[in-house]
Amino acid sequence: MKTVVACRRWLFVLFLLVLSLPAQAQRQQAEGKLPRPKLVVGIVADQMRWDYLYRYSDRYGNGGFKRMLREGFSAENTNINYIPTVTAIGHATIYTGSVPSIHGIAGNNFINNSTGQVMYCAGDDQVQTVGSDSKAGQMSPRNLLTSTITDELKLATNFRSKVIGIAIKDRGSILPAGHAADAAYWFDAQSGGWISSTWYMQKLPAWVAQFNRENSVEKYLKDGWNTLYPLSTYRQSSPDRNEFEGKFAGTDAPVFPIDTAKLYKEGGAGIIRSTPFGNSYTLDMAKAAVKHERMGQRDVTDFLAVSLSSPDYIGHQFGPNAVEIEDMYLRLDRDMAAFFDYLDKEVGKGQYTVFLSADHGAAHNVTFMKDHKMAAGAWNSGATQKALNSHLQELFGEERLVVNLMNYQVTYNWKLIEEKKLDLQKIKQASIRFLETQEGIAYAVDMEAAQTSTVPAVLRERITNGYNRHRSGAVQIILQPAWYSSGSARPTGTTHSSWNPYDAHIPFVLMGWGIKPGKTSRPVNMTDIAPTLAALLKIQQPNGSIGAPVVEALK
């Protein structure tokens, strides 16, 4: 009798354990399948500083950023571990777990040192535009030298998983989707719709063509852009009328309300990129992809890579302390809440995994900082290059030894140096001595000798990680904190590219299937994102990955 009672007790405990398992995991285990989410959704908000998760939180709703923080796991101390911090490298690094030294994306634009030609990160003249007559579709992931987490999912499922990338910026769609993607779509200002390239397809799917007809840019812009709340309540921002912000062409000042219908009529569809409606447009396209491609509706895990490009356009124009930025994030919070609700209904709550991160952050506006008595400055790279070339000519007798200071790196005229049999090491040493006397420059470092340079260890590591000998300059320039490149002494808006926390500290939040709610403040690198997803999916890390999974986030 006691044995029977004990068996019943154990059966009851087993029953409770089974009930506690997620429904999908139960079903997968019963069928002998490896438990995985139905869908993984990656969201990269371009230029989203980490502090934006909290800066406007008093007016965030419960279904967007707060839902992710409440139900998900946040790595609060995630930083970019390379220099320079720009869009293309950020997207490539998030999805490869690697760095420019290995994955080869050394900037949005970079110089091929073997030819001296400037390369665009996603440029590819071997492919043609699909969906437009413009050249905006001559893009592919060909310049990316390693696999992505999306490629690895394809390999792990014998290419049965469906992978799609969507972003207004081509690089924000193409690099995350990887080499083996089913599709990548990006925005074409000329046609005013979503396009692709022959790398992926020969013709747009019918649903994309239909979306382009029905979800016109004009529809999003027709009612103008005004604040969600009374202007006087935007207390986290500078006054609406100030000298820190850049205005739209044809307007008198960067102030609300903004007549986006007029801007569209006079300037074309591209204006949507610099409004919060670019986020709405992108997430509506993402919903359409989920629906029409049946993503998360099949017997294998799919991956949707979404990049929200508008925060970067708005940030560059207005800077991080503008009402426009605050209002855009309040609107994005609502858009994300609606997107999560859509995924709950279409895929199933708890059946998908979503992560949020950013490709880089942004500095405070130089003028704003100075007016608040904080150290900051604008560095004129053009004037510096001219002065450096003049200095080197005096020493070595040749003009234009420096061809570019792109990405805060000195690129030399390799062909001229070789032809004239000049001593490169002496040229680099002379350049470094000169640059370190210039206002605003903290360090100038020989990239090939970074590990022995007298700079802080964190900078040595980031310089090394960012250096690709085939695609990077020879000397890395590090500016003083709060300095950035500008041709104006009192620039408007902002930019990024540096190692400092305002550019390098990014959000990394996961939510949904397989994610344990919580947070950590231990150091996490951008290169740890892809390994975390690989551990979640139980697949191989990308082939250039140098990161490690954030195991605390995983059930």
Residue 439 to residue 274: CA distance in whole angstroms: 33
Return the number of other C-beta atoms located less than 10 Å from residue 498's C-beta.
26
Using alpha carbons, select from 311, 371, 361 the residue that is nearest to residue 492: 371
DSSP code for 449:
G
Q: Which of 104, 85, 99 minimizes the C-alpha distance to 472?
A: 104
Q: Classify strands 518-520 and 73-75 as parallel, antiparallel or unpaired.
A: parallel
In sequence order, the 6+-apart residues with CB closer than 8 A to the CB of 452 are none
Residue 157: which of 298, 12, 361 has the closest Cα? 298
Query: Cα 60 to chain center, whole Å?
Result: 22
Q: Which amino acid is at 225?
A: W
Q: What is the DSSP letter of 344?
A: I
Active site residue 87: yes
CA dihedral 143, 145, 146, 152 (to 10 degrees): 50
Residue of 3, 78, 85, 87 marked catalytic:
87
**Which phi-psi region, left, alpha or beta, contains residue 158 (left: φ > 0; alpha: ψ -120 to 50)?**
left
Q: What is the DSSP letter of 542?
A: P
Q: How far is 440 from 377, CA to CA, in rounded Å? A: 7
What are the C-alpha distances in Å from 72 to residues 92, 276, 520, 554?
24, 25, 12, 10
**DSSP character at residue 139:** B
Amino acid at 432: I
Any idea which residues carry the catalytic annotation? 87
